Amino acid sequence: MAALHTLWMGLVLLGVLGVLQTQAQVQVSLQPNFQQDKFLGRWFTSGLASNSSWFREKKKVLSMCVSVVAPSADGGLNLTSTFLRKEQCETRTLLLRPAGTPGCYSYTSPHWGSTHDVWVAMTDYDEYALLYTTGTKGLGQDFHMATLYSRTQTPRAEIKEKFTTFAKTQGFTEDAIVFLPQTDKCMEEHK
């Protein structure tokens, strides 16, 4: 009987630890009093950090892309990004649906069909925004990404440092963080 009680207590403890670990993984702070209308407009993807194997393989050849954030009919956001892929400009639009608290969104991955959650963790609206995305891809593989959006193609050193600190706080290592090089290709698409 004592062994059964010990086993039961061990399972309860593991369950509690599992819940705490799951909650810790999504403990991303949100921009206080997020104002969606101020977040609209053109942004440059200046920095990325990800646990994705695809990202690790391709990060040396990635370059900055331009994104335009516009309101959608459902109260969310249309995020239209134009980027260089195989020497061609490619444009994709994601519908970011509101997910409760202002600054929280979700979207369906066009590639995997899974739902991803996006948090606007920090922004000053005029210069930078730090975003955190999480979801699954493929066969239940966890996906996490931190993104630095900048209103210009040359974010200040302090903004880059803020992004590096943010990414490390989310568990990314130095080698998983990249600042994307500027390119003139595909940047004229959304002036």
Residue among 62, 98, 100 nearest 81 (CA): 62
What would the DSSP string read from start to end of 58-110? Answer: HTTT---EEEEEEE-TTSSEEEEEEEEETTEEEEEEEEEEE-SSTTEEEEE-T
Kindly report the backbone phi and psi dihedral angles of residue 131, in degrees, each rounded to the nearest multiple of 5, phi listed first: -120, 150
d(CA 54, CA 180): 16
Structure tokens at 165: 């600190």
Using an 8 Å Cβ cutoff, are 112 and 136 in contact? yes
Look at the chain and count its residues.
Answer: 191
* Among 65, 89, 104, 186, the one annotated catalytic: 65
Amino acid at 63: S
Q: 65 an active-site residue? A: yes
Using an 8 Å Cβ cutoff, are 76 and 93 in contact? no
Catalytic residue list:
65
